[in-house]
């Protein structure tokens, strides 16, 4: 039977590829899950929520790893694994270094690559860095483009991708969210720390361009926000990256009303997103989840590759300057009309939760029709 190899390396790839992996298995297709191990704990934690165990783990992660190292380690080791597994199709997700290096290893073997979440563009090669470049390079190498939205599809068309192999599927993160939403109640650790009914701000920051000064500005902004709104509580599930954790802890570990905790299981994190009054983040996936949950979100970046979150969703672009973040956060928290207007815009720009089903249907049809000529 033709094997489809799903290659994942980091937390968001695990969460967003999980619905596709589960659907491939449910449909009786042979699915090989290859983890590069670009992330260790964060990847395992995300997969645990969906009861997925990788068929092979390349375990490449190092403390404070460089982009050169991740790229070369994944290229070599994923290439060796592909030589063993000999899949008919490789699926990669998004824009990480795992995504790019795995797509390249597949291309070197003339194995067709399906890109899940294809076509996102910020228009600036350095924002986010290196993800914007990764997306463009993966889309150059791909055979099937699974675009989450019409805007993503149009980006691919403008770059000359073959329209007969682009599909607008919705984003698989909506599928993942729907699988876990409502499954669990309040996490035990939070019951002990968070008083009932208080307003809650959820904050995550992890991107390379946020390391150092921009993250320090976010910390300063949070301190200012608390001064103006002392009833507020803040929760920060910290990314494993030591460069990020050091700054959170230096600025915020002694501030009352701030809960610094480790990265959370996906189902607990979804519960907290749903409980929060406002979300501040530089994450890509959380912009999509906030729109789906209809939660206000300030994007802590200068540009976003997800313009639908601004035009149709619940997001505002706050940048990385402390004063702008404070101003916008307080407006959303304290100005009821402003918040209502933001929330009234919300449709579901990232799909209805059937992206995985659509992707698997397309792959099945394509494999049936082209069993003998793919990749030639
Ligand atoms: C990576 C992706 C980014 C994605 C993010 C999701 C690249 C270039 N970046 O960024 O697009 O948004 O994952 O979280 O691919 N670490 C651990 N344990 C873990 C994970 C990370 O200790 O489970 C630490 C290690 O010291 C590691 C560092 O975090 O060296 C950075 O990890 P890395 O994968 O290079 O970058 P991220 O910032 O996680
Ligand atoms: N997430 C999680 N636990 C956490 C923080 C985030 O499960 O403590 C989930 C979140 O819901 C989203 C994904 O991780 O689905 C986003 O990952 P991240 O912000 O690391 O990457 P990005 O989306 O920016 O690439």
Question: pLDDT, tens digit, for every residue of 291-317?
Answer: 999 999 999 999 999 999 999 999 999
Mutate which of 269, 272, 295 for ligand 2 pocket (most atoms within 8 A of beta carbon): 269
Burial of 182 (0-12, 13-18, 19+ CB in 10 A): exposed
The set of protein residues with a Cβ atom below 6 angstroms from ligand 1 is 10-12, 38-42, 62-65, 67, 70, 96-97, 130-131, 206, 240-242
Residue 299 makes CB contacts below 8 A (sequence gap 6+) with: 281, 282, 287, 309, 310, 315, 316, 317, 318
Instruction: Please state, in angstroms and rounded to a whole number, the distance separating the CA atoms of residues 286 and 282.
Output: 8
Q: What angle do CA 215, 220, 226 make, to 5 degrees?
A: 125
Q: What is the pTM of this model?
A: 0.97
Assign domain 188-344 to a CATH class: alpha beta
Confidence of residue 375 (pLDDT cuts 50, 70, 90): very low
244 alpha carbon – ligand 2 mean position (Å): 14
Q: Residue 168 in 3-state DSSP?
A: strand
pLDDT surpasses 50 at 374: no
C-alpha torsion sign, points 248, 252, 253, 257: negative
Confidence of residue 369 (pLDDT cuts 50, 70, 90): confident
Confidence of residue 373 (pLDDT cuts 50, 70, 90): low
- pLDDT score at 372: 56
pLDDT, one tens digit per residue, over 178-188 is 999 989 999 99
Mutate which of 42, 130, 267, 285 for ligand 2 pocket (most atoms within 8 A of beta carbon): 285
Cβ neighbours, 10 Å, residue 85: 16
Mean pLDDT of the chain: 96
- pLDDT score at 366: 87
pLDDT, one tens digit per residue, over 226-266 is 999 999 999 999 999 999 999 999 999 999 999 999 999 99
Atom of ligand 2 nearest to the CA of 95: 25
Burial of 277 (0-12, 13-18, 19+ CB in 10 A): middle
285 alpha carbon – ligand 2 mean position (Å): 6
Cβ neighbours, 10 Å, residue 111: 20
pLDDT surpasses 80 at 270: yes
359 alpha carbon – ligand 1 mean position (Å): 27
Residue 313 makes CB contacts below 8 A (sequence gap 6+) with: 287, 290, 291, 297, 345, 346, 347, 349, 350
Instruction: Please state, in angstroms and rounded to a whole number, the distance separating the CA atoms of residues 33 and 22.
Output: 11
**Multiple choice CATH, 3-170+354-375, 3.40.50.970, 3.40.50.170, 3.40.50.2000, 3.40.50.300:** 3.40.50.2000
Q: How far, in Å, are 53, 132, 223, 268 from residue 173 at the CA level?
A: 19, 19, 32, 16
Q: Which of 113, 133, 117 is closest to 15 using CA atoms?
A: 117
- pLDDT score at 371: 67
The set of protein residues with a Cβ atom below 6 angstroms from ligand 2 is 11-12, 15, 46, 173, 204, 206, 237, 263-264, 266, 269, 283-286, 289
Confidence of residue 376 (pLDDT cuts 50, 70, 90): very low
Mean pLDDT of the 51-78 span: 97
Catalytic residues: 95, 117, 131, 206, 208, 239
Atom of ligand 1 nearest to the CA of 10: 13
pLDDT surpasses 80 at 346: no
In this structure, which residue's CA is closest to atom 35 in ligand 1?
65
In this structure, which residue's CA is closest to atom 10 in ligand 2?
286
Residue 195 makes CB contacts below 8 A (sequence gap 6+) with: 233
Instruction: Please state, in angstroms and rounded to a whole number, the distance separating the CA atoms of residues 355 and 287.
Output: 17
Mutate which of 9, 11, 176 for ligand 2 pocket (most atoms within 8 A of beta carbon): 11
- pLDDT score at 191: 95
Instruction: Please state, in angstroms and rounded to a whole number, the distance separating the CA atoms of residues 270 and 288.
Output: 12
Task: Give the domain ranges of the chain.
Answer: 3-170+354-375, 188-344
Evaluate whether 3-170+354-375 and 188-344 have a shared fold: yes
Q: Residue 284 in 3-state DSSP?
A: coil
Phi, psi for 167 (deg, rounded to 5) = -130, 140
Cβ atoms of 155 and 119 within 8 Å: the answer is yes
181 alpha carbon – ligand 2 mean position (Å): 15
Beta bridge partners of 315: 297
């Amino acid at each position: 039977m033709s094997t489809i190899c799903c290659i994942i390396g980091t937390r968001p790839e695990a969460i967003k590829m999980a619905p596709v992996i589960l659907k491939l298995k449910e449909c009786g297709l042979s699915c090989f899950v290859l983890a590069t191990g670009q992330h260790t704990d964060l990847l395992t934690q995300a997969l645990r929520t969906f009861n997925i165990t990788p068929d092979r783990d390349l375990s490449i992660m190092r403390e404070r790893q460089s982009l050169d190292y991740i790229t070369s380690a994944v290229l070599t080791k994923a290439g060796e694994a592909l030589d063993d597994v000999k899949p008919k199709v490789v699926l990669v997700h998004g824009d990480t270094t795992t995504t790019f290096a795995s797509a390249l290893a597949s291309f070197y073997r003339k194995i067709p690559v399906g890109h899940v979440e294809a076509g996102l563009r910020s228009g600036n090669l350095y924002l986010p860095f290196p993800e914007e470049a990764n997306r463009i390079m993966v889309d150059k190498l791909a055979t099937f483009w699974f675009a989450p939205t019409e805007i993503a599809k149009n980006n691919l068309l403008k770059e000359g991708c073959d329209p007969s192999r682009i599909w607008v599927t919705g984003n698989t993160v909506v599928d993942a969210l729907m699988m876990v939403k409502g499954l669990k109640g309040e996490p035990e650790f939070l019951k002990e720390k968070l008083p009932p009914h208080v307003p809650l701000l959820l904050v995550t920051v992890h991107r390379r361009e946020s390391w150092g000064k921009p993250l320090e500005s976010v910390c300063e902004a949070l301190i200012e926000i608390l001064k103006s709104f002392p009833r507020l509580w803040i929760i920060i599930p910290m990314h494993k990256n030591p460069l990020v954790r050091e700054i959170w802890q230096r600025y915020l570990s002694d501030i009352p009303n701030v809960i610094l905790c480790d990265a959370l299981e996906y189902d607990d994190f979804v519960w907290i997103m749903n409980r929060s009054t406002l979300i501040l983040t530089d994450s890509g996936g959380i912009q999509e989840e906030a729109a789906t949950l209809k939660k206000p979100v300030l994007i802590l970046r200068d540009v976003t590759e997800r313009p639908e979150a601004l035009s149709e969703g619940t997001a505002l672009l706050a940048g990385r300057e402390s004063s702008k973040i404070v101003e916008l956060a307080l407006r959303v928290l304290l100005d009821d009309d402003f918040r209502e207007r933001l929330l009234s815009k919300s449709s579901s720009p990232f799909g209805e939760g059937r992206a995985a089903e659509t992707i698997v249907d397309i792959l099945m049809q394509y494999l049936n029709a082209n069993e003998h000529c793919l990749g030639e």
